[in-house]
Amino acid sequence: MIDKYGWTDLLAREFTPHASEGHIPGRIVVQHRDSYLVATDNGELRGKISGRLLHEAGEAGYPAVGDWVALALNKSVSTATIHAVLPRRTAFVRRGAIDSSHGLQVIAANIDVAFVVTSLNADLNARRIERYLAAAWQSGARPVVVLTKSDLSDDPTGEVAEMAALAPDCPVVAVSARQGMGLDAMLAQLGPGETGVLIGSSGVGKSTLVNALLGEERMATQSIRDSDDHGRHTTSHRQLILLPSGGMILDTPGIREVGLVNADEGVSVVFDDIEKLIQACRFNDCGHGHEPGCAVAAALQSGALDRARWDHFQKLAIEMAATEAKAVQVAKNDERRRFVALQKGYRAAKRDHRGSR
């Protein structure tokens, strides 16, 4: 059964140490708040994290949809305990709540293709697409831009060209789920055994798209509000769905909020033209303002570089710097707490030793 979920010989070799402990492999296909549904050769099992894994997982170490895990079967044949997570090939990570003890959270793992979905029934937001593309590149997945509701566009060809200009090496596909247009071109980007994820704002047609790819009404859908072209996400939990084509698709409510965590590489791919301009500046410490020989300033003045694109690049750079600073502070706080705990333990041990005399 797990073969159709992407199980490979490489994964089997990586699983060898866990097999020697009597564990079986499985892939997480549904994630609930406190449990998981795991696909195994024994069927789908309800899984919960072991106490040891819960204690040792650490930041971003808890299982996520798409993860391959090692399980021990419980006496109840329909339940199992998750003891380990196999190494991830790719991962989408978002920042946790400010007051969370874990600053990072993996929301999708082992993704091959990231479908960046946006709708053609409203003005395209190039800045938002750039953000999603950066997150996709950084995750390790290969991005594909999907323009939904192409039947509502007056110029779908022109809008495809506009999106293609944002990332020349990224495929762009226009689809109409309701009319069945472009679905084959989209599926061609996802091979058998590969896993795709849908990224995009609420109401752009992701659930309708999943239904069209499945050929059935499995995912609940909700129309975009006419007043502001926004909708409400209709997926209440994360789940991995097998497609008739042999691939898999993941739709998750949290992934539309994916943050830029250590996304330098992803930003560099999406903004490769700006990176090259920065390298062409006369001075290495150029502030890209009024310095002589600034290639960025020259490109802005000539119109070769769009001002809005440059502003967005700077905004992402500031956001990444702030994220890095926060991560450093979290690490310092963790180290301080560990040191305080060690001191308390040392003092308690001394008191016990004196009391035993």
Give CA separation, 321 vs 85, 260, 289, 325, in Å: 30, 10, 20, 6
Beta-bridged to residue 81, according to DSSP, are 48, 72
55 and 154 belong to one structural domain: no
Q: Are residues 61 and 169 in the same domain?
A: no
Residues 71 and 176 in one domain: no
Give the domain-ending residue among 57, 87, 117.
Answer: 87
* One domain for residues 177 and 69: no
Domain CATH for 27? 2.40.50.140
Domains in the chain, number:
2
Per-residue pLDDT of the chain (357 residues; tens, 9 = 90+): 899 999 999 899 999 999 999 999 999 999 887 889 999 999 999 999 999 998 887 656 789 999 999 999 988 768 999 999 998 888 887 765 544 444 667 888 899 999 988 888 765 677 788 878 878 887 878 889 998 888 777 787 888 888 888 777 789 998 888 888 889 999 999 999 999 998 877 767 777 888 888 876 555 444 433 334 444 434 445 688 899 889 999 876 545 555 555 555 556 655 777 888 999 999 888 988 888 899 999 999 998 888 877 887 787 777 666 655 655 565 576 667 766 777 776 666 667 666 666
Asked which of 241, 257, 273 is the last residue of a domain, the reply is: 257
User: Do 188 and 62 share a structural domain?
Assistant: no
Token pair, residue 41, equals 């050769």
Cβ atoms of residues 350 and 357 within 8 Å: no
Residues 152, 14 within the same domain:
no
Q: Which of 249, 245, 119, 250 is nearest to 188 (CA)?
A: 245
- 36 domain-assigned: yes
Q: Are residues 12 and 154 in the same domain?
A: no
33 part of a folded domain: yes
CA torsion angle for 335, 341, 346, 351 (degrees, to 10)? 160
Judge whether 74 lies within some domain: yes
Residue 123 shares a structural domain with residue 251: yes
pTM over 0.75: no
Query: Does residue 93 lie within any of the structural domains?
Result: no
CATH code of the domain containing 164 = 3.40.50.300
* One domain for residues 209 and 72: no
State how far the Cα of 352 lies from the Cα of 357, in Å rounded to an integer. 9
For 46, the domain range is 2-87
Tell me whether residue 337 is in a domain: no
CA–CA separation, 348 vs 188, rounded Å? 64
E strand or H helix that includes residue 81 = strand 79-85
Asked, for residue 299, whether it belongs to a domain, the answer is no
In a domain, 176, yes or no: yes
Are residue 40 and residue 159 in the same domain, yes or no?
no
Task: With beta carbons less than 8 A apart as the criterion, state whether 170 and 198 touch.
Answer: no
Q: Is residue 21 part of a domain?
A: yes
Question: Of the candidates 211, 240, 257, which is a domain's last residue?
Answer: 257
Q: Which residues partner with 195 through β-bridges? A: 248
Is 124 found in the same domain as 70?
A: no
CA angle 293, 298, 301 (to 5 degrees): 150
117 and 241 inside one domain: yes
